[in-house]
């Protein structure tokens, strides 16, 4: 089964309203990239504006996090329903920065993935090992356990993002062979799920993807796209990474 590549940009806590010019360039560039699905995950404050600017284009808007519940007395939080209402089509859950700085566990991530499903958002579930876990030969087991804990049994439409924690924002990347090994592990894990999850679910690689390494990393078997942090903030670089699929 052919899986349409997805290149998603995680803007993290970057971007004021004035960033709309950069986003407009991504929307314009997407016209010459029909084979690749492009998504931008801006800060929540920019979702509605970007969604309006993307209307009529193929660019999707994603959020970076959501609360597990639809509404309630949770000051400062944003529900999946609110993100959908603002124009998001997807939400990242379980990013390592959320797990690390906000103490999110697999159970939290699972609840957020369920919230995404409830609201009709595509969940992009992030998993990845630390440097110590890789160095002690536990990377595959850690990733399998994170998937077991973070992906609800009845979740059908979702994306897995493999993001080694030590590669995020560091300029370091695993070798293409190591990426291939881990994506095979994840593909096998998906194969154990009901339905056609093993074939249809996209697995993104994330962690220091740049214009310089995109071609090599995105050519690896079972890499169905990329989750791009720093390099997604410049439209030119983000589009060049997506063009690596041609
Ligand atoms: C990320 O935060 O999801 C990420 C991959 O960041 P970077 O590309 O900057 O390493």
Is 115 part of any domain?
Answer: yes
The answer, yes or no, to whether residue 224 has pLDDT greater than 90, is: yes
Is 1 part of any domain?
Answer: no
- Ligand 1, atom 3: closest residue by C-alpha: 229
Q: Which of 207, 210, 226, 232 to mutate to test the pocket of ligand 1 (most atoms within 8 A of CB)?
A: 207
The answer, yes or no, to whether residue 152 has pLDDT greater than 90, is: yes
Nearest-angstrom CA–CA distance, 55 and 66:
23
In percent, the amount of the chain with pLDDT more than 70 equals: 99
CATH number at residue 99: 3.20.20.70
Ligand 1 binding site (Cβ under 6 Å of any ligand atom) = 10, 163, 168-169, 206-209, 227-231
Comparing CA positions, the residue from 227, 245, 210, 243 lying closest to residue 7 is: 227
Domain residue limits at 183: 6-245
Is 171 part of any domain?
Answer: yes
Which pLDDT belongs to residue 197?
Answer: 86
The answer, yes or no, to whether residue 195 has pLDDT greater than 90, is: no
Is 205 part of any domain?
Answer: yes
Is 140 part of any domain?
Answer: yes
Average pLDDT of the segment spanning 134-144: 98
The answer, yes or no, to whether residue 211 has pLDDT greater than 80, is: yes
Long-range contacts of 78-81 (CB under 8 A, 24+ apart): 78/44, 79/115, 79/119, 80/112, 80/115, 80/116, 80/118, 80/119, 80/121, 81/118, 81/119
Cα(73) to centroid(ligand 1), Å: 31
- Ligand 1, atom 2: closest residue by C-alpha: 229
Which pLDDT belongs to residue 196?
Answer: 85
- Ligand 1, atom 5: closest residue by C-alpha: 207
Which pLDDT belongs to residue 234?
Answer: 98
**Mind telling me the catalytic residues?**
95, 163
Is 50 part of any domain?
Answer: yes
Which pLDDT belongs to residue 246?
Answer: 65
Which atom of ligand 1 has the smallest separation from the CA of 95?
A: 3
Q: In which residue are the tokens 């300029």 written?
A: 171
Average pLDDT of the segment spanning 111-125: 98
Q: pLDDT for 1-59, tens place per residue?
A: 689 999 999 999 999 999 999 999 999 999 999 899 999 999 999 999 999 999 999 99
Cα(95) to centroid(ligand 1), Å: 9
Nearest-angstrom CA–CA distance, 98 and 87:
22
The answer, yes or no, to whether residue 99 has pLDDT greater than 70, is: yes
Is 70 part of any domain?
Answer: yes
Cα(207) to centroid(ligand 1), Å: 5
How many domains would you assign to the chain?
1
Torsion of CA 53, 33, 224, 21, to 10 degrees: -30
Is 231 part of any domain?
Answer: yes
- What global pTM score does this model have? 0.97
């Amino acid at each position: 089964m052919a899986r349409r590549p997805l290149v998603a940009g995680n803007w993290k806590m970057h971007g004021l309203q004035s960033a709309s010019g950069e986003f407009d360039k991504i929307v314009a560039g997407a016209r010459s990239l029909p084979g690749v699905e492009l998504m931008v995950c801006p800060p929540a404050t920019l979702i509605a504006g970007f969604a309006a600017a993307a209307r009529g284009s193929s660019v999707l808007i994603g959020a970076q996090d959501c609360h597990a519940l639809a509404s309630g007395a949770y000051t400062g939080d944003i529900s999946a329903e609110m993100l959908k209402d603002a124009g998001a089509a997807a939400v990242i859950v379980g990013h390592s920065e959320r797990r690390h700085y906000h103490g999110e566990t697999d159970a939290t991530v699972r609840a957020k993935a369920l919230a995404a499903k409830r609201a009709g958002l595509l969940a992009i579930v992030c998993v990845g090992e630390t440097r110590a876990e890789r160095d002690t030969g536990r990377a595959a087991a850690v990733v399998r356990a994170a998937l077991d804990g973070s992906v609800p049994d009845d979740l059908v439409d979702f994306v897995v993002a493999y993001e080694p924690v030590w590669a995020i924002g560091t300029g370091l990347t695993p070798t293409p062979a190591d990426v291939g090994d881990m994506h095979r592990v994840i593909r096998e894990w998906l194969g154990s799920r009901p339905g056609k999850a093993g074939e249809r679910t996209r697995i993104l690689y994330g962690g220091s993807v740049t214009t310089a390494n995109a071609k090599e990393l995105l050519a690896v078997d079972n890499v169905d796209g990329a989750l791009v942090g720093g390099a997604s903030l410049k439209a030119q670089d983000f589009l060049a990474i997506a063009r690596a699929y041609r």
